[in-house]
Amino acid sequence: MQKVLAYPLSVVYYLSFGLILIIFHPILWISNNVFGYKALKTSVDVLQFFIMRCLNVLGTRFSFSNPHQIDLDQPLIIVSNHQSMYDISPMMWYMRRYHPKFISKVELGKGIPSVSYNLRHGGSVLINRKKPRQSIKAIQDFSAYIKTTKRAAVIFPEGTRSKNGIPKTFQKRGLLTLFKEIPSATVVPISINNSWKTVQYGKFPMGLGAHITFTVHKPIKIATFTNHQVLIDQIEKTIKKGVLT
């Protein structure tokens, strides 16, 4: 019965989601080209709020637990497991004070109203996974930006999304590059649960009633570790421990 109900609600969701992206695309363009980064950032934040409201049509709920005081005057590296594209907007909204910027695949940099524009102009970095040398150079340049602006780099080290919620093994190259390039940064591990349930049937129909939770773990200063491999192992263990499977 739930799957039957999911069909009409998914239609409503996609129509509202698409409309929001189309409406905000010129708003982001004007914000960036006329008023600058601060206006673009505000517009992007509001966009994430409305995307989350679109997901409410499906009965999707969000809980974000962040019991830690995180200093704003430092670069951050947010490390998380990845279950679906619906991890993104809640993280951007609830962590908006830290200016999260993403390491994303190059394919997302074109063709998606609002989303592609923000990835290209909002401070994120697009990498081509088929060209690892270029990707490392792009992450190095991105690291310099994060270090200078004291914003937050977001990376999903699994590389691809988990379709059943079970975390995959972390790919370490991107993390090692970030840690080497931004040794003054603080790592913020986050565990995401139940986002995969929004796409448990595929792209259509959408899953109903998912309660997506985000648990922010204790921040870790990179400078307290001399061995970055050990640090990555600890982060991976912490995040996976917080994932319910």
- Residue 119 is predicted with a pLDDT of 97
Nearest to 218 by CA among 106, 69, 64: 69
Written as one letter, the residue type at 99 is H
- Residue 91 is predicted with a pLDDT of 97
Determine the Cα–Cα distance for residues 2 and 139; give it in Å rounded to an integer. 43
Written as one letter, the residue type at 93 is W
Task: Give the other-Cβ count within 10 Å of 125's Cβ.
Answer: 22
Task: Give the max Cα distance, the chain.
Answer: 55
Is there a contact between 117 and 28 (Cβ–Cβ < 8 Å)? yes
Nearest to 6 by CA among 225, 244, 207: 207
End-to-end CA gap in the chain:
24
- Residue 12 is predicted with a pLDDT of 98
- Residue 244 is predicted with a pLDDT of 87
Determine the Cα–Cα distance for residues 53 and 70; give it in Å rounded to an integer. 27
Model confidence pLDDT, tens digit, residues 66-110: 989 899 999 999 999 999 999 999 999 999 999 999 999 999 999
Nearest-5° Cα angle at 129, 126 to 100: 35
Q: Name the token pair of 245.
A: 């499977």
SS3 94: helix
Written as one letter, the residue type at 80 is S
DSSP states along 175-240? HHHHHHH-TT-EEEEEEEESGGGGGTT-SSSPP-S-EEEEEEPPPEEGGG-S-HHHHHHHHHHHHH
pTM of the model: 0.94
Site of tokens 């999260």: 100
The residue ranges of the chain whose pLDDT is under 70 are none
